[in-house]
């Protein structure tokens, strides 16, 4: 089932999750154990992130440095297949512009289609320290809008090369939204203008970057509506559980942490997990009371605190 169908048919609040593939060298058992725990909460879908390659520099014994190119977390499509077909939970595969050619994207979409996966999240992806060389016979999607267009072309049976009587795919396409604006945009109004181009290209729903202030989410929804965006906008929730996240999250994800949350953690750093839990629980309760149908948790493969929040909400 598609994400938008889950939202339309929901009779009670639903909780979805985003997980990351295990590091290179680890088995899929970690993911199987995580999904085994999450399935008890009947998630409508689970997102699986994707990662482009990056440059790794190794110091050699002779004093020289060796440069290697690799993905730290491969396996997105395989993990989606496990979740979709072993657990019968709808899965959302993340597709990136950066680090992937349009030809690789088409192949990934074909594999996902064969696996029975109907949902993808189209995003540009983070900047890395490596840019893949592009041969003359390859092309890229420079922005998310073009990636959405490629996916929807395949939904109409249009592939990169002309194929006679090609079968159409049937993907539901999500895109990311930024309640506090994307850090590269000059202001929120401009960011929403760019967001609308992704919807006009065929995206079906929006899931927000992690947001810690519901006021920002509600304002974002209203401004999107004013701009003519009328698709579901799913709030992204992240639970603070380590002191280091006060610096890491704003730096890595370009989001603001509310003064009240930061002050409380700094005053009693030994209680950071409990403070983070109570803050996220309060957020979730307020969102549900406002009529939000779907909360999306960024769990980073740590299920404990999130399932505790859902238990309390229920």
The answer, yes or no, to whether residue 53 has pLDDT greater than 60, is no
pLDDT at 136: 72
Inter-residue contact 25 to 305 (CB < 8 Å): no
Percent of the chain surpassing pLDDT 70:
89
Q: What is the average per-residue pLDDT within 281-302? A: 95
d(CA 270, CA 252): 23
| pLDDT at residue number 129 | 46
% of the chain beyond a pLDDT of 90: 83
Rounded distance between C-alpha atoms, residue 87 and residue 78, angstroms: 13
Distance from CA of residue 49 to its chain's centroid? 6
Please choose, from the candidates 27, 16, 51, the residue with its C-alpha nearest in 3D space to the C-alpha of residue 310: 16
- Helix, strand or coil, per DSSP, at residue 62: coil
Q: Between vectors from CA 94 to CA 124 and to CA 87, what angle results, nearest 5°? A: 170
Compute the distance between CA of residue 63 and CA of residue 68 in angstroms, rounded to an integer. 16
- Collapsed DSSP state (helix, strand, coil) of residue 238: coil
Tokens of 131: 């840019």
Q: What is the pLDDT of residue 67?
A: 58
Model confidence over 144-187: pLDDT tens digits? 999 999 999 999 999 999 998 999 999 999 999 999 999 999 99
How large is the angle between the packed helices 272-289 and 214-226, nearest 10 degrees?
40
Q: What angle do CA 220, 221, 224 make, to 5 degrees?
A: 85
Neighbours of 147 (CB within 10 A): 28
Q: Which residues are catalytic, by number?
A: 18
Tokens 């339309």 -> residue: 8
What CATH number is given to the structural domain containing 27?
Answer: 3.20.20.220
**Residue 204: is its pLDDT beyond 50?**
yes
The Cα 249–Cα 169 span in angstroms is 36
Q: Which domain does 230 fall in, by range?
A: 3-313
- The pLDDT of residue 302 is 87
pLDDT of residue 92: 98
Number of domains in the chain: 1
Give how far Cα 200 sits from Cα of 23, 121, 138, 149, 227, Å. 36, 16, 26, 9, 12
pLDDT at 130 over 60: no
């Amino acid at each position: 089932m598609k994400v938008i169908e889950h939202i339309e048919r929901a009779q009670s609040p639903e909780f979805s999750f985003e997980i990351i593939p295990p590091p290179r060298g680890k088995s899929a058992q970690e993911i199987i154990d995580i999904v085994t725990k999450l399935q008890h909460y009947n998630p409508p879908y689970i997102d699986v992130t994707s990662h482009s390659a990056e440059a790794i520099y190794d110091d050699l014994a002779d004093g020289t440095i060796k440069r290697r190119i690799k993905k730290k977390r491969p396996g997105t499509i395989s993990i989606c297949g496990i979740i979709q077909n072993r657990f019968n939970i709808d899965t959302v595969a993340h597709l990136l512009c950066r680090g992937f050619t349009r030809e690789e994207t088409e192949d990934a979409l074909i594999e996902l289609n064969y696996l029975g996966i109907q949902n993808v999240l189209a995003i540009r992806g983070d900047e890395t320290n490596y840019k893949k060389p592009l041969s003359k016979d390859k092309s890229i999607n420079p922005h998310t809008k073009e990636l959405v267009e490629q996916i929807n072309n395949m939904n109409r049976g249009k592939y990169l090369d002309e194929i006679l009587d090609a079968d159409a795919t049937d993907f539901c396409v999500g895109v990311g939204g930024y309640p506090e604006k994307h850090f590269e945009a000059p202001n929120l109004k401009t960011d929403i203008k760019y967001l609308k181009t992704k919807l006009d290209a065929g995206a079906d729903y929006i899931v927000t970057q992690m947001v810690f202030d519901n006021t920002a989410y509600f304002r974002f929804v209203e401004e999107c509506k004013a701009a003519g965006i009328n698709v579901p906008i799913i709030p992204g929730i992240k639970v603070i559980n380590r002191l280091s996240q006060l610096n890491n999250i704003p730096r890595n994800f370009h989001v603001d942490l509310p003064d009240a949350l930061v002050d409380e953690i700094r005053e009693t750093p030994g209680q950071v997990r409990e403070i983070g839990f109570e803050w996220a629980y309060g957020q979730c309760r307020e969102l549900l009371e406002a009529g939000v149908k779907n909360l999306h948790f960024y769990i980073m493969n740590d299920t404990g605190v999130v399932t505790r929040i859902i238990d309390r909400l229920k």
